[in-house]
Amino acid sequence: MILVGQFDSPFVRRVAIALHHYGIPFERRVLSVFKDFEAMLNVNPLGKVPSLVLDDGETLFDSRAIIDYLDGIADPALRLAPTEEPQRRQVLKIEVVGIGLAEKVYERGLEYSRRAPGSSDPDWRARLEAQIRSTCGWLENLTPSPWLFGETFTRADLAVAVAMQYLERVVPELDSSNAFPRLQAHRRHCEALAAFAAVQDSTDEARASGWRPEPPS
Ligand SMILES: N[C@@H](CCC(=O)N[C@@H](CS)C(=O)NCC(=O)O)C(=O)O
């Protein structure tokens, strides 16, 4: 299998962490959705990452769809979502919120890094920040102990811990460690897992495709 994308993307990173968790070997094709846009359109018509090229050449898109597929072929003992209802939908609901959080952090970052100087809309940024804070508050109220759902690490934990790490790197002034201490403790718990340690967020890959940290406001 070939995972397409950079490890500064929380969506690519979470697929790689899942692959490590399942013990599924993979190669990586490091393409940037910005620097390598034309090549990306040939991999995924949306020009987005992650994509996963299967051994027979079929290509899957979107981290959630990819992990759903991987969960289906993985050793049942390593599955990251329950198969029974209502547990399954409860885990997937938290996963959706975690992915949505990473999407809002990503959208906010674009306001700084990809707009012409002076063209970012402060009202839009304020709306994104309100969505980010609201989502973190909702997740914080789930009181992970240590996992967000049940007695084992699930897709909910994967989505939320990766999103919180990304939030801290990209929006340090939101001070998420102090503002959401239970989520930060949960994140540290996840990051102690071997699969997380094997796939570090890469600011080098981010910088190579044009990302710069925001100047302090
Ligand atoms: N929901 C998607 C989000 C993927 C996503 O937004 N990826 C970003 C990179 S971090 C991207 O491809 N952006 C390029 C674009 O949207 O044009 C997933 O979980 O895979």
Q: What is the pLDDT along the chain (217 residues), one digit of tens a residue?
A: 999 999 999 999 999 999 999 999 999 999 999 999 999 999 999 999 999 999 999 999 999 999 999 999 999 999 999 999 999 999 999 999 999 999 999 999 988 888 888 888 999 999 999 999 999 999 999 999 999 999 999 999 999 999 999 999 998 888 888 899 999 999 999 999 999 999 999 888 988 888 877 776 6
Sign of CA dihedral 107, 109, 111, 116: negative
pTM for this predicted structure: 0.96
Q: From the alpha carbon of 34, which atom of ligand 1 is closest?
A: 14
Q: Ligand 1 centroid vs 151 CA: distance in angstroms?
A: 30
Q: From the alpha carbon of 10, which atom of ligand 1 is closest?
A: 10
Residues with CB under 6 A from ligand 1: 9, 11, 33, 47-50, 62-64, 99, 103, 106
Q: What is the DSSP letter of 214?
A: P
Q: From the alpha carbon of 46, which atom of ligand 1 is closest?
A: 17
Q: Ligand 1 centroid vs 39 CA: distance in angstroms?
A: 15
- State in words which class domain 2-79+199-208 has: alpha beta
Domain with CATH 1.20.1050.10 in the chain: 87-193
Which pLDDT value is given to residue 217? 67
Domain with CATH 3.40.30.10 in the chain: 2-79+199-208
Contact by Cβ (8 Å): 51, 43: yes
User: Of the CATH numbers 3.30.70.141, 1.10.1040.50, 1.20.1050.10, 3.30.365.10, which one belongs to the domain with range 87-193?
Assistant: 1.20.1050.10
Which pLDDT value is given to residue 92? 98
Q: Roughly what angle, to the nearest 10 degrees, separates helices 181-191 and 122-140?
A: 70
